Chain A
């Protein structure tokens, strides 16, 4: 049972344009959501997070939007750069302080083309 879903395995975007990565979840108990970025031969690295009490969190070129009623979140990257090419994982946690267990999605491979 995949509680966190990323339905697009891959996404290709031109440099300078906006990249939008989507994530859906089914567990209503999730109250923190995170995005991780992974380059080949490296471990995932934390990118940005959002609490369920917010609907938007911004950090430089990266913005995460949360729509609780739709159980949907998205990561916007503006403008996209070639160095953003990586696999992006959506993750969610539940419990006080966000808990500790992270449930991950299947990942989206982003390719930013020149």
Chain B
């Protein structure tokens, strides 16, 4: 089954404790992206990657890092999480240049930073 898999689904952590949210896709998509969803703000892009070793900032990159060492994986790293990073996070993928065909999204990771 074609899918984007995120882990964990839920995470509660403390301020300053480094964490990684994993994302993996099995569709051989070049393009991968991370979004966060917040009430009243919709989905905002954090980082994206157009291929292996090619990453770039989205609209709200502060406090986040990503890496793309393999085509299928695109982890999101919070080196020193803060309470304002409490949010619902989604990983998405698509074929390059085919954004109009829509993304495939993961099921989401609900992160709480206390």
Binding site for B on A (CB under 8 A): 2, 4, 6, 9, 32, 34, 36, 41-46, 49, 51, 89, 91, 93, 95-107
Option from B4, B40, B50, B100 in Cβ contact (under 8 Å) with A43: B4
B80-95: contact bitstring with A at CB < 8 Å (1 yes, 0 no)? Answer: 0000000000101010
Contact A102 B106 (CB under 8 A): no
Q: Which residues of B contact A42 (CB under 8 A)?
A: 107-108
**A43-B4, A43-B90, A44-B105 given; A102·B99 CB < 8 A:** yes
Given known contacts A9-B40, A44-B103, A102-B103, what 9 new A-B pairs fall within 8 Å (CB)?
A2-B42, A44-B43, A49-B100, A49-B101, A97-B97, A99-B100, A100-B94, A101-B45, A102-B45
Q: Which residues of A contact B45 (CB under 8 A)?
A: 101-103
Q: Which residues of A contact B48 (CB under 8 A)?
A: 100-101
Option from B44, B107, B108 in Cβ contact (under 8 Å) with A104: B44
